[in-house]
Copies of this chain bind each other. A is one copy, B any other.
Amino acid sequence: MEGYRVLEIKQSVFENNDREADKLREQLKQEKTFLLNLMSSPGSGKTTTLKATIAALKDEFRIGVMEADIDSDVDAATIEKTGAKVIQLHTGGMCHLDAGMTKQGLIGLGTQDIDFAILENIGNLVCPAEFDTGAVKNAMILSVPEGHDKPLKYPLMFSICDVLLINKIDVLPYFDFDIEECKKYVLRLNPNMKIIPICARTGEGIDEFAQWLREQITAWNA
Please name all residues of chain B whose beta carbon is closer than 8 Å to the beta carbon of A55 when the two chains form the complex.
Answer: none
User: Which of B69, B71, B122, B153 is the one whose CB lies under 8 Å from A72?
Assistant: B153
Does A51 lie at the interface of the complex (its beta carbon under 8 Å from any beta carbon of B)? no
Chain A residues engaging chain B, CB cutoff 8 angstroms? 41-43, 69-72, 74, 93, 95, 122-127, 130, 143-147, 149-150, 152-156, 168, 170-171, 174-175
Give Cα A74–Cα B153 distance, bound, in whole angstroms: 8
Please name all residues of chain B whose beta carbon is closer than 8 Å to the beta carbon of A150 when the two chains form the complex.
Answer: 42-43
Shortest A153–chain B CB gap in Å is 5
Q: Decide if B171 touches A74 in the complex (CB within 8 Å).
A: no
Please name all residues of chain B whose beta carbon is closer than 8 Å to the beta carbon of A144 when the two chains form the complex.
Answer: 145
Please name all residues of chain B whose beta carbon is closer than 8 Å to the beta carbon of A72 when the two chains form the complex.
Answer: 152-153, 155
28 A-B pairs with C-beta separation under 8 A: A41-B146, A42-B125, A42-B146, A42-B150, A42-B153, A69-B153, A70-B126, A70-B154, A70-B155, A71-B153, A72-B152, A93-B130, A95-B95, A95-B124, A95-B127, A123-B125, A123-B126, A123-B153, A124-B124, A124-B125, A124-B127, A126-B127, A143-B145, A145-B168, A170-B174, A171-B171, A171-B175, A174-B174
Please name all residues of chain B whose beta carbon is closer than 8 Å to the beta carbon of A152 when the two chains form the complex.
Answer: 72, 74
Shortest A41–chain B CB gap in Å is 5
Please name all residues of chain B whose beta carbon is closer than 8 Å to the beta carbon of A71 when the two chains form the complex.
Answer: 153, 155
Shortest A124–chain B CB gap in Å is 5
